[in-house]
Structure 1
Amino acid sequence: MKNYQLLCYERDPWNDEGYDAKLSHSMHLGISQNGAAFKELNHNYGVLFPKGIEKDDGSIDAKTLIQPCIFQINDTTFGIFAIQTGSKAENDLTSKGELLCFTTEDFVHYQQLSSIKVGNDVILEVRVDGQMAQKVFWREVSGKCYAASFWFNADTQAFEISGNEQSEVATIPNQPKVAAENIDGCIPRGEISISDAIGDYLLNKLDEPYNTANELPKEVTVGSQQELEEVKAVAKYSDGTETNKRVDWYSRNIDFTKPQSLTIKGRIHQDHFIFPMALDRADPCIGRWQDKYYFIATNDADRNHSLYIREADSVPELVTAQEVKILDSNMYDTIGNLLWAPEFHIIDGQLFVFHSATIDRFEDVQSYVMALKPNGNPMLASDWCEPKRVVKPNGDPLIKQGITLDMTEFQIDEHIYVTWSQRQFVPNDLGAWLYIAEVDAAHPWQMISEPVVIAKPIYGWENNRAPVNEGPFAIQRNGKVYLTYSGALIDDSYVVGLMQIDRELSPLDPENWQKSNYPILTSNTVAGEFGPGHNAYVIDDDGHYWNSYHAHPGKEGPRSSGIRRVHFDVDGEPDLGMTEDLDLKPQLVNVALQVKIDPKKD
């Protein structure tokens, strides 16, 4: 037995890290094993946020939570009670006397249920009476304290107050004392015992994985240098996952024409990327086209008036590759000011750049598609066609008063889908939402289905300083489409969230999409990288996914591009925070292999 204890806590919002009230006032998790001090999970970032309230016009009134309480309902299900508060943790008069209610089986995936009415006034504190709680206590703004028995109705998936009765009590139970001084800003709210299975899962899922071993075959027979290079190491990680790694073998002086047995040493290959790899380059995207890699990004250095690309034979070589301009705001009458968020996409064998542009004002930014001419060279501006504005099936613009941007593309069978961010400003600013539609494969600027909203910034972390969902990009693997996107203001609060859908389901139905409750990449994830977001992916020859993203090198630094390998976690979902030292442990990179050389081997 590992004797896991799970701590739920809030964080003190009065911190100097820029960890705002919308983030601090959420449920965080810490874990302890065999009585050791609690350690933070998820980089000390919240894992449970309440949904905001959608107003009549569709905009979101963000909410936070305080006083989370965790307890066990049965052998497989846990419950959480909390108090709903406003966006800055102020008293929420719309939820007087109510408690937020959630259930979970693993403390990663949550179901927000209907709130329960327990009191008549604003609730300031709430407690439950232990691991298998059957009674809830609360204190109202009047200072009076109450208690009531409750139970969980499995049929209706709702909590109910037994007999709808409450009784006044002298006081509520004291806040438990927990040894969590080592967790920065921790305000403990309760702890429970959890099983080994859940504890192991939480550590695998919410603690950054690290390289634990690298395995090779005991012995191989090869007939050439090329066959030796095909021998891969299996890198294993603390979360139980693994991936294949190329090895740089020290074989320069070996004669492959001579039969022999020997030990060959090598070093597991790892591409190295400094951050930032490109200053003043935001919204980066790396694409592959005809055995070459290309890098493109928003050009913050000239205030977004031009697009430059780089070409190289490998992803690492893009870092120092020459830049060539392929588009600026003076080339065409339809583009006169801003150029944003370019992406490479290949549809039916043709290369396109999806991007945003405007004739003049920021408020008129719209989505465009630029096609490479047949047999064209991507490095020649003259080989690109004039960008075409994306339109709805009837030829109308996507929005008449507002902006559309960050359009991306993915394909399922014969269907070509685009998702993008759209923001209405008139008569009210509704925030940036994610839309989806199907387009014509031959003319991907022409939609063949009506736009559908698939996401709004409903959680505090994506509604922080600004209500934003933008920068979507898709990964398809293991029968799922993973759509990462960015949320919050484009400063150190910027984050990357995750949505997903089963590949056999229609992506045009918003109900088929599942949004994770917490972001997967934040300023807490990698030290020194503030406000990471607006990312894209490319697959190299080894089958590895590379994430290109921007972040600030320092809170006040310019948006700049970075590159990092994507790890796929215990659930097969993208993990964007694995740094190079976690990806390959330095002490484990040197390897040796017993090799038989047989020149006659086929």
Structure 2
Amino acid sequence: MENLKNPIVLQRADPFVYKHHDGFYYFTGSHPSYDRIILRRAEHLNDLYDAEEHAIWHKHSNGPQSHLIWAPEIHRVNGKWYIYYAAAPDDNIDDNTFNHRMFVIENEADNPLEGEWKEKGEIDTGWSTFALDATTFEHNGIQYYVWAQQDINVTGHSNIYIAEMENPWTLATPPVLLTKPELPWEIKGFWVNEGPSVLIRNEKVFITYSASATGIDYCMGLLTSDAKADLLNPNSWTKSSEPVFESYSPNKQYGPGHNCFTVSEDGSSDILVYHARNYTEIVGDPLYDPNRHARAQEITWDENDNPVFGIPVSDERWTPDTTTILTTENSSE
């Protein structure tokens, strides 16, 4: 068991952790100012808490990448680093959604804290609507892209789609709908399926996603496919009827979600990384409450080789009691 101490990083929602063969964990997440992409690295997950933070990209002064930089993810594809993220041209809410699209930057250096990050542009999905929360994974020699996007002909704010990739910034196939918000726990506050993350184990492919509004109702759902199945066939996927990870008031953990997966230092255990708040009373717009902290805990497995996420564990570290955005210099006691 990993001796993890939560939170692993303060005030970084939508956390993403990549464990590289150099022995480092690389961390990114949404900065609460929504104006930059940050990276940290550490040899131990617990050490990400105090790790130096690097701002490796900043929003544009105007145009489609000038507002609300959300949910970056760092991936290694074909020997290069890629960060996928969502950005908007403004802060407006039009037709009940923001105006985000998905973008990617590339770095050829061995260390992503060095070298130059080059913009590869917008990920074109074939239609132009609210789109965000992209992730990518390789399976059986094929690179896949999974993301959330709105279809104006489908009730709700966002659905989860999958496509094959021609290269890390271009899709090779049309989008395939995997899940839309429809169950009671997916439509509280907002009709949302977002934040997909992929875990391949036990000859199965699992995709977790987050549902409902981002307060106490935010929770995680699960899609499962046989690893040998056609992942672009919606019939290959089974959707869990109940959330697999949700708020747990005895531990003061509310709205857990927008997760990713990493592994323990010895590679023997899978680790769930997610964000949650430790209070429910939010003053003003929840989007600008910075205290969704990054957390991590070990996953177990049931007799059918399916993941068991358990309940969100209690905090063991100091967390702020104000909505002031911390700097990396004063983000711990």
One-letter code aligned to 1:519: P
SS in structure 1 of the partner of residue 144 of structure 2: strand
CA distance, structure 1, for counterparts of residue 176 and residue 245 of structure 2: 26
Matched, 1:568 2:298: no
Q: Counterpart of 1:522?
A: 246
Quote the offset at 1:429 in angstroms. Answer: 5.8
Aligned counterparts of 1:500 and 1:575: Cα–Cα separation in 2: 13
Task: Identify the residue that residue 52 of structure 2 maps to in structure 1.
Answer: 322
Unmatched segments (≥5 aa) in structure 1? 1-244, 246-269, 393-397, 582-602
Aligned to 1:475: 199
- 1:285 matches 2:16: yes
- Find the counterpart in structure 1 of residue 279 from structure 2: 554
TM-score, normalised to structure 1's length? 0.47
Runs of 4+ in 1 over 6 A off after TM superposition: none
Tell me if the contact between 2:191 and 2:211 (Cα under 8 Å) persists in the aligned partners: yes
Give the counterpart of 1:423 among 104, 127, 150: 150
From 425, 428, 436, give the equivalent of 2:162.
436
Q: Secondary structure at the match of 2:130?
A: strand
Q: Could you report, residue by residue, the CA deviation over 1:41-65 in whole angstroms, capped at 9, with x for unpaired residues? A: xxxxxxxxxxxxxxxxxxxxxxxxx
| C-alpha distance in structure 2 between counterparts of 1:429 and 1:460, whole Å | 14
Distance in 2, Cα, partners of 1:345 & 1:413: 17
Mark the structure with the bigger radius of gyration.
1
1:365 to 95, 100, 120: 100
The 3-state SS of whatever aligns with 1:482 is: strand
Q: Deviations over 1:204-240 (max 9, x none)?
A: xxxxxxxxxxxxxxxxxxxxxxxxxxxxxxxxxxxxx
CA–CA distance in structure 2, aligned partners of residues 361 and 429 of structure 1:
22
Alignment partner of 2:233 out of 482, 502, 509: 509
Q: Tell me the distance in 1 between the aligned counterparts of 2:64 and 2:23.
A: 32
For 2:45 and 2:8, how far apart are their aligned partners in 1?
11
Percentage identity across paired residues of the two chains: 28
Q: 1:526 to 1:324 in 2, by over 3 A?
A: farther
Kindly state the Cα deviation for residue 342 of structure 1 after the two structures are TM-superposed.
1.0
Kindly provide the amino acid, as one letter, of the partner of residue 544 in structure 1: S
1:46-195 pair list within 5 angstroms: none
Residue number in structure 1 paired with 2:74: 344
Spell out, residue by residue over 1:123-180, the C-alpha distance to the aligned partner (whole angstroms, 9 max, x if none).
Answer: xxxxxxxxxxxxxxxxxxxxxxxxxxxxxxxxxxxxxxxxxxxxxxxxxxxxxxxxxx
**In the alignment, residue 310 of structure 2 is paired with which amino acid?**
G
User: In structure 2, what is the equivalent of residue 407 of structure 1?
Assistant: 134
In structure 2, the residue matched to 1:459 is: 183
Compared CA separation, residues 432 and 580, structure 1 to 2 (3 A)? closer
Query: Does the aligned pair in 1 maintain the 2:156–2:190 contact within 8 Å?
Result: no
1:496 partner amino acid: M
Q: Does the CA-based 8 Å contact 1:566-1:578 persist in structure 2?
A: no
**Which residue does the alignment assign to 1:536?**
260
Judged with a 3 Å threshold, the aligned counterparts in structure 2 of structure 1 residues 419 and 571 are, in CA distance, closer, same or farther, namely same
Paired with 1:353 and 1:498, the residues of 2 have a C-alpha distance of: 24
Q: CA deviation at 1:334?
A: 4.8
Give 1:360 shift: 2.5
Mapped partners of 1:308, 1:463: distance in 2: 31
Give a deviation string over 1:328-378, Cα, whole Å, max 9, x none. 2137865211111111222222221111112334532011121112x3531
Q: CA RMSD in A?
A: 2.2
Whole-Å separation in 2 of the counterparts to 1:431 and 1:514: 22
Distance (Å, rounded) in 2 between the aligned partners of 1:388 and 1:332: 15
Cα displacement string for residues 559-593 of structure 1 (whole angstroms, at most 9, x for unaligned residues): 22111111222322222226779xxxxxxxxxxxx
* Residues 568, 574 of structure 1: 8 Å contact kept: yes
Q: Which amino acid aligns with 1:352?
A: Y
Q: Match of 2:132, as an amino acid?
A: L
Maintained 8 Å contact 1:355/1:369:
yes
- Say whether the 8 Å CA contact 1:546–1:563 is kept in structure 2: yes
Pairs within 5 Å for 1:241-256: none
Check the 8 A contact 2:90/2:99 in 1, yes or no.
Answer: yes
The 1-side partners of 2:84 and 2:70 are apart by 10
1:360 counterpart SS class: coil
- What CA deviation, in whole Å up to 9, does each residue of 1:521-574 have, x standing for no partner? 111386211010000011133221111101111113632211111122232222
> Aligned with 2:235: secondary structure?
helix
Aligned to 2:86: 356
Q: Any conservation in 1 of the 2:253–2:312 contact (CA below 8 Å)? A: no
Query: Aligned pair count?
Result: 299
Which amino acid counterpart does residue 293 of structure 2 have in structure 1?
Answer: S
Aligned to 1:194: none
> 1:423 Cα deviation (Å)?
1.4
SS state at 2:185 partner: helix
